[in-house]
Amino acid sequence: MEITFYKYQGTGNDFVMIDDRSESFEVTDLALISKLCDRKFGVGADGLILIRNHQDYDFEMIYFNADGSQSMCGNGARCAVAFSAFLGIVKDQTTFLAIDGKHEAVLENGLVQLLMGEVDGIESRQEDFFVNTGSPHHIRLVEKVSDYPVFAEGKSVRYDASYAPGGTNVNFVEPIAEDEIFVRTYERGVEDETLSCGTGVTAAALVYGKDQDAAEIKINTLGGKLSVKFNSKPEGGYSDIWLIGPAEQVFKGQIII
C-alpha cells in the first residue's frame, strides 16, 4: 500500500502532512505514526497531521506528536492551513477544527495568521509560570538562553510529579527588548528540543506581555521568527491571540507500507 505525503515546516517545526479526506489512514496505528516520524527509520518529523473533511468546518486537523500522542499544535496548524490552501480546500481565510476547538486563519503575504483559543489566565509556579494555549506549557524566564541546558532542564520539568500524568512542554525565554523574546522549547511527545513550538511561543508571549493591555511580541526561535498579538481581557484572561509566521512545503513523497 502507498500513501502520498507532503512535508511541511513552520519555523523548523516539521510535519508529515497527509490529505486524508478519504479517511483511509488508520489513526489507531500509533506504531506507524511514530515510525513515519522517526528520523532514521521513517520520513522524520516532529509530528504527523491528517487533513479530513468536517461537515461544519472547512476541514479538520488531526495532529499527532512524533510518539503518537495528541495535543494542539500551533505551528502544525499554520502548516495545515497552508496545505489546505495548496489542496484548494481554502483560499486566503478559513475556519477549521482542531483538538482544542474552532480556529480561524488568514493567509497573507506568505504568512499564516492563526487565531488561537482564548486563555483563562497564567498560573504562577514559584519563579516560573504555567499557561495552557491548547497544549500545556511551563514557562521559565532565563538569561542567555543560547547557553541554557534546554534538554536536561526541560526533561526534568516535563516529568516533574506536579505535572503527572500528562506532563508538560517546557519553554525557556530570554527577554531581548520590551516587545521581543528568544524562546527555546522542550516538547513532550517529541521528547527533545524542537526548533520552534507555536503553542509554546504563544504561552511565552502571554507571560512576557501579560501586563500590557494589547501587545504584539516578536519571537525568535532556533528555526526562525514568529510574532504573537493578543488582548488582555478586563475580567482577566486573554483573547484575540494571533500566532503569525511562515509555513512552507518542502517535499512530496510516497510512503510504502
**Residues annotated as catalytic (active site), given as ranges:** 73, 197
- CA–CA distance from 13 to each of 25, 118, 223 (Å)? 22, 23, 7
Query: Taking CA 92 as the corner, what is the angle to CA 50 and CA 78, rounded to the nearest 5 degrees?
Result: 40
Residue type, position 10, single letter: G
Look up residue 56 and give its amino acid.
Answer: D
Determine how many CB atoms are found less than 10 A away from the CB of residue 243. Answer: 28
Residues 6+ away with beta carbon under 8 Å from 241: 115, 116, 117, 118, 119, 133, 202, 206, 228, 229, 230
In terms of Cβ atoms closer than 10 Å to its own Cβ (0-12, 13-18, 19+), residue 93 is middle
Q: Is 12 helix (H, G, I), strand (E, B) or coil?
A: coil
Helix axes 198-208, 74-86, angle to 10 degrees: 130
Is residue 34 within the footprint of ligand LBFN2T5F (CB under 6 A)? no
132 forms part of the interface with ligand LBFN2T5F (CB under 6 A):
no
Q: Can you tell me which of 169, 171, 220, 221 binds ligand LBFN2T5F, judged by CB under 6 A?
A: 169
Q: Which stretch binds ligand LBFN2T5F (CB under 6 A): 143-151, 185-193, 210-218, 249-257?
A: 185-193
Kindly calculate the radius of gyration of the chain based on its CA atoms and give it in whole angstroms: 17
Instruction: Identify residues 49-88 at the interface with ligand LBFN2T5F (CB under 6 A).
Output: 65, 69, 71, 73-76
Establish if 188 lies at the interface with ligand LBFN2T5F (CB under 6 A).
Answer: yes
Which residues have a Cβ under 8 Å from the Cβ of 152 and sit 6 or more positions away?
none
Per CB under 6 A, 187 contacts ligand LBFN2T5F: yes
Q: Report the residue number, 70 or 249, with the smaller CB distance to ligand LBFN2T5F.
A: 70
The answer to whether 199 contacts ligand LBFN2T5F (rule: CB under 6 A) is: yes
Q: Tell me if 231 is assigned to a ligand binding site.
A: no
Among 9, 135, 171, 221, binds ligand LBFN2T5F (CB under 6 A): 135
- To the question of whether residue 75 is assigned a binding role by annotation, the answer is yes
Residue 188 annotated as lining a ligand binding site? yes
Q: How far is the CB of 216 from ligand LBFN2T5F (least distance, A)?
A: 19
Q: Give the interface size with ligand LBFN2T5F as a residue count (CB under 6 A).
A: 18
Residues contributing to the annotated binding site for substrate: 13, 65, 74-75, 169, 187-188, 198-199
Give the residues lining the site for ligand LBFN2T5F (CB under 6 A): 13, 65, 69, 71, 73-76, 135, 169, 187-190, 194, 197-199
